[in-house]
Chains A and B, each alone.
Chain A
Amino acid sequence: MLFKLAKFATPVLGAAFLAWLFFAPPQRVGYAPEQPIAYSHQLHAGKHNMDCQYCHTGVAESKKAGVPSLNICMNCHLYGTMGYVDGKLSSELDKLKKLFAEKKSPEWIRVHNLPDHVKFPHAPHVKALSKEGAATKEACAVCHGNVDQMVVVSQQMPLNMGWCVNCHRDYRDQNNYRTHGVSTSCNVCHY
């Protein structure tokens, strides 16, 4: 009996395992690619306690949070004296200044990347997650983790559909949907 079960179950389980191996969505938690410039969020958002929105300007009004344009960096690093350690410019900043002088942008590697068929808008999420009087980063941390402690940014949450939907269910308030509720209809994210 046990043998029979094993005889039939092995290929089935084996096939399932192989299928899972091939077709399972990639697990991106912990994904922390090396960036062209070793920018540290820990230094900026942590040590200097800068607000996320100082650089990610679109986050409260657009779909995209936006990676800062170089002129935002230069507010402090060109016109101010930030980035000098013992009177010496850090080598990473040197890269940035060279790029800026050449009117070129660094090609950042995208860390938090949703598939193209998912439409995620930042603005309403930031609005919903922000608490009165709290810093923006508390709202951001829900999905991005504690970026202010990251030297190299890594993905903290799975950002897969189940994870999104769980939260949407928690926040769901059908009676107040028109203004503040959250829906779990497919067309909210997929169109």
Chain B
Amino acid sequence: MSAIIDKGKESMAQKKSQRNHKKNSASIWRSAEEIISPESIAADTQLWNDGREFPASVQELIDRAQNANLNRKSFLTLMGASLSLAGVSCMKAPVEKIVPYVERPIGHIPGKPVYYATARVTADAVTPVLVKTREGKPIKIEGHEDHPLYRGAVSADTLATIWDLYDPDRLKTAFIKEGNTFKEAKTEEVLAAVAKKLTGTVRILAKASFSPSERKALAELAKATKAKVVTYDAIGALAEIVAGDEASYGSNVVPAYRIDKADFILAIENDFLGTWLSPELFTRQFASRRNPDKGDMNRLVVVESNMTLTGSNADSRLTIHAGSHGTLALALANLLLPGSPLAGDAAVRNTVSGYTPAVAAAVTGLTEEQIVALAEELKANKGKSLVLGGGTSSKDARPGSLQIAVNLLNSILGNEGQTISTKAALKKTNDLSDAKAMGDLLEELNSGKVDVLIIDRANPVYELPGLGMADAIRKAKTIIYLGYHKNDTAVEAHYLLPVSHYLESWGDAESYGYYYVVQPAIRELFDTRSAGDILLALAGSKQKFSDIVRQSAKSYIKGDFETAFTRALSMGYVVVETEGSSPARKFRSAALANVIAPKEALSGYRVSLYRSVAIGDGSGANISFRQELPDPISKMTWDNYVAVSVADAKANTWKMGDVLRLKTAKATLELPLFIQPGLRKGSLAVAIGYGQTNIGQVAAGVGRNAYELAIAHNGVLQYSAIPVTVEQTSNREKLATTQKHYELGVKRGLVRIATLEDYRKNPRAGHEHEEVPHPGPDGKSKAKGLYTPHKYTGNRWNLNVDLTKCTGCSACVISCYSENNIPVVGKDDVLMGREMSWLRIDRYYSYQTEEAEKADPDMVSPDVFFQPVMCQHCENAPCENVCPVGATGHSDDGLNYMSYNRCIGTRYCANNCPYKVRRFNYFEYWDGKLRDPQQFSLNPDVTVRSRGVIEKCSFCQQRISEKRQAAKVEGRELKDGEIKTACQQSCPADAITFGNIHDSGSQISAKTQEPRTYKILAQLNVEPAVSYQVRIKNQGKA
């Protein structure tokens, strides 16, 4: 990567001048505006104190004081009063009470965490998790490390479900609508009342379920009320696969994608690392093959129209026009068909023959050479490659359109049965989503035939505005809603029945060859019931849902049931079918009629809807932690926006935050724009999941509802390449993006990158010319510092992040928030740069060469890199020696610690920190702001910081202490790998290693000695305890 890393044998001076020169040419940058309209970031830099690392905050404080009408006299009065009150409060120690258990449950020792294995079930996937409970209260979700498939992988969204449990805006009891208002009522009573009303024509609208027991309960209800069950899946990820596989193979399973078995992965409009099906599982599988040191390196090529997490992790990313994915897939099929098993199929040949590279190039915007080269690479990896397609942003007007094209490619390449297997697949998926049944239901509703409509945890009013759902369901005489929130659908209902969180209820699930038992970790916090229990109660059944779960488990568990069931509960899962290859299914050429693949370039603006990593489908939008998690690519918080290409921004002189009006035939949506590198002219993208009106205090009014743009074709919703007209309004909105926050004054950035080719030639590629600290007087030894070096006799903790594995998925960020009681600050404070995250993920754009950068002025295909940055726990920490009160210092196990009770908030340390990882607690973000029962989510092992102190990453000191104390009690030494930091535990890519550097046999010692390892800002001689491994991109042979 010559543009970033200079090569050659010139003298130091020459090297230096060359480096300076190159800094100004092909550089690493962090936002598109830096390149296209530097003047538009003037406001931003002004806030950030003209690039002085910290936002100017004084003016705002003055404003607040003036608004409060605080003059000198009243100020002094208040100060005096608060001073004397402070004194009074110190006079007496608080009286605390201890309330012991009446009967202590066996195994529960106060102060010791208890872990339960359970599973989180969403509409797309099942994730095995461990729930950490303290004194009976769940406080954290952890990955399930013993699970053979997931091996501890967990996503940011799943980690955030701990706050779903403690969401104060949850439905806490049943409600009955009287007039226009809801009246609280006991769930038991409402259930009994509602059960009597289920007469006449009853219809049930449900979301697809992985749970055999819930299906049984639903069937029971349907039988008892003679109701028809309609399932739907607004996102459509699974439904698309099933539709595609049904058409192409006649089988309705979702196959197992064995990404870890593929040497070459092609993802077409598919965000499998970010949002598609089980991103955490796919990340684990993908990252398990990113080992340049062991010579085991897969290659990922992504073809997409919007910049997704997967695209930003691609070894090669090809940007296409929105809506041209089908064309590209068929063009590849056309090139690969000769000599393949399907070569003799005339129907296939006739369909694809029209898609020559020239046609595809015109439609997609790629060059013919790129398409041919991609086909060649696929050909070279027959049977060892994997083509993935589908997801929200490629949902076409016909069901399974892209999926069929992708199936064709996999069949041609002989991947079918190898890297895509029907063994240990997702079965019983025939009730996923049925557009026809949905159409029938709409008709019935509109004609007023439906007496009772039961809606089971679905939100059709919000998700399906294109189908006119709101008007339709109002025509039902009685609407019964089962769910977690009083959301946009619930407010239309007559009866609201509160459903328990998965950590409060029994349940089960089946997916990818595993059967999971979902077990409660806490009794219901409120007057809620598990969905299964509600369905059974409505059906008039006397059975308990937990008994149904036991019954279902019997068909999956072998051997003595009680023993095996107890074991299943402690493990959380039962293996039903082990993974492996399967016989290849035969492709049916007739399916190709359903593929939408334009032969001519699409005109005008095309907007694709996508799911964001943080908010997803919007069902968890009421959690502020999800809202404040910066989007991995745009680093945007608290809002959705329309992503526009740099080319369009230039052509229309659009600036970040300008509000655009998007119009389809039926809907109009006004959204602020965000200039996103990696898009082609005409392609737009908007995230769904935002813009809910009723879900709760946090999410209400955040963003706009992008579902409104979706076009319905006979009940099938199109999310991909929706034609829109775009107008610029005169409005502007502030975008709370963190991408420019805590920017370091280092032009070259901190991320180091190299190609696999360069790495093989030189293992130190990427950082071979790393800056080194000034030498001592003899020119060789290290310069002596002012302070005596630390001596370590015991442990010395170090952490390593492998940037080749890291995908930027942000699970670590949420895990850190959850573990360390980090508060969210809200949009206004994010705008002022006060986000509290101890662990930030820096995102860089770059190009491989200067020529590539010059050839791409519109930033259509930049490379993207991620780098998690936390406190580096420097050996010669600049923060330590400026603290006037000794609040931060160095421990004898190599940690840079922070004692909050000493901190007086001078912020000298934050000012002196070269990595900008220290965060100042400006306001009392927790105290008095927590709404019951949010306080239960706090980790009792970590101090809840008050206003006015600096806080930062502690390497999860509480986890170190816990294990160290356990080792002391057991009279042994700590084992390597025993201590896992929260970020490390949750990392689905296994990119983080933590351990004792003084133990020569430890994993961390091995990592630190690898030639790929480097430390950031090494020239400062601060000697950080965190090291990174150079990101290696596998450019392949092409």
Tell me the A residues contacting B by CB distance below 8 Å: 22-23, 25-26, 28, 33, 57-58, 60-64, 66-72, 99-100, 103-110, 113, 115-117, 119, 121-124, 127-128, 174-175, 177-181, 183, 185-188, 190-191
Measured between beta carbons, the chain A residues less than 8 angstroms from B110 are 58, 62, 64, 66
Q: Known: A58-B111, A103-B102, A191-B961. Is A117-B943 also a contact (CB below 8 A)?
A: yes
Among A26, A57, A61, A70, contact of B102 (Cβ-Cβ < 8 Å):
A70
Give 9 pairs: A residue, B residue, CB < 8 Å, sorted on A: A23-B87, A26-B90, A28-B93, A58-B111, A61-B109, A62-B112, A109-B95, A187-B891, A187-B957
When the two chains form their complex, are residues B901 and A190 in contact, meaning their CB atoms are under 8 A apart?
yes
Measured between beta carbons, the chain B residues less than 8 angstroms from A108 are 97-100
Whether B96 sits at the interface, judged by CB under 8 Å, is yes
When the two chains form their complex, are residues B969 and A60 in contact, meaning their CB atoms are under 8 A apart?
yes
Measured between beta carbons, the chain A residues less than 8 angstroms from B95 are 33, 109-110
Whether B101 sits at the interface, judged by CB under 8 Å, is yes
* Most chain B C-beta atoms within 10 Å of own C-beta, residue among A23, A69, A183: A69
When the two chains form their complex, are residues A23 and B90 in contact, meaning their CB atoms are under 8 A apart?
yes
In chain A, what residue has the closest Cβ to B967?
A179
Q: Known: A28-B93, A177-B793, A185-B897. Is A71-B969 also a contact (CB below 8 A)?
A: no
A191 to chain B, nearest CB (A): 4
Measured between beta carbons, the chain A residues less than 8 angstroms from B101 are 69-71, 105
A177 to B796, CA, bound (A): 12
Whether B103 sits at the interface, judged by CB under 8 Å, is yes
A181 to B965, CA, bound (A): 11
When the two chains form their complex, are residues A22 and B91 in contact, meaning their CB atoms are under 8 A apart?
yes
Whether B300 sits at the interface, judged by CB under 8 Å, is no
A123 to B962, CA, bound (A): 11
Q: Known: A26-B92, A183-B892. Is A69-B109 also a contact (CB below 8 A)?
A: no
Interface of A, secondary structure class, is loop
Top 7 closest pairs, chain A to chain B, by CB: A64-B111, A187-B897, A185-B891, A22-B87, A69-B101, A63-B111, A69-B104
Measured between beta carbons, the chain B residues less than 8 angstroms from A191 are 897, 942-943, 954, 957-958, 961
A181 to B961, CA, bound (A): 14
Measured between beta carbons, the chain A residues less than 8 angstroms from B899 are 117, 186-187, 190
Q: Known: A110-B96, A124-B969. Is A69-B891 also a contact (CB below 8 A)?
A: no
A47 to chain B, nearest CB (A): 23
Surface stretch bound by A, among B476-484, B552-560, B970-978? B970-978
Among A60, A64, A185, A190, contact of B943 (Cβ-Cβ < 8 Å):
A190
A177 to B893, CA, bound (A): 10
Q: A66-B109, A116-B944, A191-B957 are in contact. List 16 more A-B contacts (CB 8 A).
A: A26-B92, A61-B969, A62-B110, A63-B111, A100-B102, A103-B102, A108-B99, A110-B96, A115-B901, A127-B969, A183-B892, A185-B893, A185-B897, A187-B899, A188-B961, A191-B954
In chain A, what residue has the closest Cβ to B135?
A64
A57 to B974, CA, bound (A): 25
Q: Which of B356-402 contact A (CB under 8 A)?
A: none
A61 to chain B, nearest CB (A): 7
Measured between beta carbons, the chain B residues less than 8 angstroms from A180 are 968
In chain B, what residue has the closest Cβ to A113?
B96
B838 to chain A, nearest CB (A): 13
Whether B900 sits at the interface, judged by CB under 8 Å, is yes
When the two chains form their complex, are residues B109 and A186 in contact, meaning their CB atoms are under 8 A apart?
no
A23 to B892, CA, bound (A): 31
Whether B775 sits at the interface, judged by CB under 8 Å, is no
Q: Known: A22-B90, A110-B97, A124-B968. Is A71-B109 also a contact (CB below 8 A)?
A: no
When the two chains form their complex, are residues A62 and B943 in contact, meaning their CB atoms are under 8 A apart?
no
A33 to B98, CA, bound (A): 13
A24 to B523, CA, bound (A): 44
Among A110, A123, A175, A187, contact of B98 (Cβ-Cβ < 8 Å):
A110
When the two chains form their complex, are residues B99 and A187 in contact, meaning their CB atoms are under 8 A apart?
no
A191 to B954, CA, bound (A): 8
When the two chains form their complex, are residues B112 and A179 in contact, meaning their CB atoms are under 8 A apart?
no
A172 to chain B, nearest CB (A): 10
Whether B794 sits at the interface, judged by CB under 8 Å, is yes
A186 to B707, CA, bound (A): 52
Q: Which of B97-150 contact A (CB under 8 A)?
A: 97-104, 109-112
A100 to chain B, nearest CB (A): 7
- Chain B 772-796 against A: per-residue CB contact (8 Å), 1 yes, 0 no? 0000000000000000000001110
